């Protein structure tokens, strides 16, 4: 598998702190993005702890396959998907414990989206909250995650249109997030993967500013993943930049004859360590 990737995180034009964070484990083809919440520095702590814990747990499991899973085993899912769910549950416990140990950080939490490229035909996805993962295949952009938010649930129930949801002042109300409770329900899925597919992990600071058409056009026009991530951030800022904005672009590059080397690019933007 030949993978090219790039990422960028930006504070935006209205916020003082960047509470978004991303992390990679290139040797595992594992990518994580988290959007923190909680005010002051708490959101930054929650998102950083989330992304780092998911990576650390997955790396530990790669070294020690007998490492126990945290939480229930998901029937019908691969070992990698179960491990990814375990990593997110571990992150939830870490953020919850950190919030309980520090009164100033009580109530902090985070969203998370993570994808693990399992082999040349599948990708495992885990998420909690309203950060998203998209797949661009040809010209078709498909959202692979479902937002755990009040407005998204209203749309699913037919009680609100998508346009009403986009204009609602309840967009920030989450129904599920890491660190709020001792345990969390993690949505896990596996999707097919084809050469030429592009995967986008992003925080809501991007999707609230850009339409699917704009995102699709940018990912299609910019062949280099880092250039695509940079352009998405710039466009979101030009559209208002009302929130922190993060984009991680992962592309499954068609493999030239005789080429087996993985390509990787990692931009360390604000809010990342």
- In angstroms, the CA 155 to CA 150 distance is 9
Q: What is the chain's pLDDT, residue by residue, as a tens digit (273 residues)?
A: 689 999 999 999 999 999 999 999 999 999 999 999 976 568 999 999 999 999 999 999 999 999 999 999 999 999 999 999 999 999 999 999 999 888 778 889 999 999 999 877 899 999 999 999 999 999 999 999 999 988 878 888 888 888 777 777 777 789 999 999 999 999 999 999 999 999 999 999 999 999 999 999 999 999 999 999 999 999 999 999 999 999 999 999 876 654 434 444 444 454 554
What are the CA-CA distances from residue 50 to residues 32, 93, 126, 128 (Å)? Answer: 9, 10, 13, 11
What's the number of CA atoms in the CB half-sphere (13 Å) around residue 13? 12
Burial code (b: 16+ CB inside 10 Å, e: under 16) for 145-178 equals: bebbbbbbbbbeeeebeeeebeebeebeebebbb
Domains of the chain by range and CATH?
3-252 (3.60.40.10)
Read off the pTM.
0.90
- In angstroms, the CA 272 to CA 21 distance is 5
Give the DSSP H or E segment for 50. Answer: helix 42-63
- In angstroms, the CA 134 to CA 15 distance is 25
Beta carbons of 228 and 219 less than 8 angstroms apart: yes
């Amino acid at each position: 598998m030949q993978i090219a990737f790039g990422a960028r995180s930006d504070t935006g034009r209205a916020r003082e702190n960047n509470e978004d964070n991303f992390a990679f484990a290139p040797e595992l083809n594992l990518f994580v993005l988290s959007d923190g919440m909680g005010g002051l520095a708490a959101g930054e702590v929650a998102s950083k702890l989330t992304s780092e814990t998911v990576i650390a747990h997955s790396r530990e499991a790669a070294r020690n396959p007998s490492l126990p899973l945290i939480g229930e085993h998901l029937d019908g899912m691969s070992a990698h998907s179960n491990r990814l769910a375990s990593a997110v549950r571990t992150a939830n416990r870490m953020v919850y414990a950190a919030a309980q140990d520090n009164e100033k950080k009580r109530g902090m939490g985070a969203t998370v989206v993570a994808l693990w490229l399992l082999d040349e035909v599948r990708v495992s996805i885990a998420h909690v909250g309203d950060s998203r993962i998209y797949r661009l295949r040809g010209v078709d952009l498909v959202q692979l995650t479902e937002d755990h938010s009040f407005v998204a649930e209203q749309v699913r129930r037919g009680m609100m249109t998508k346009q009403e949801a986009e204009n609602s002042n309840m967009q920030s109300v989450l129904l599920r997030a890491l660190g709020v409770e001792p345990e969390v329900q993690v949505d896990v899925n596996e999707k097919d993967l084809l050469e030429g597919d592009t995967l986008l992990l992003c925080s809501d600071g991007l999707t609230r500013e850009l339409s699917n058409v704009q995102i699709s056009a940018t990912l299609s026009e910019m062949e280099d993943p880092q250039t695509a991530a940079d352009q998405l951030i710039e466009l979101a800022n030009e559209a208002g930049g009302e929130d922190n904005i993060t984009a991680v672009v992962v592309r499954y590059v068609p493999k030239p004859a005789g080429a087996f080397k993985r390509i990787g690019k990692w931009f360390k933007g604000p809010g990342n360590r």
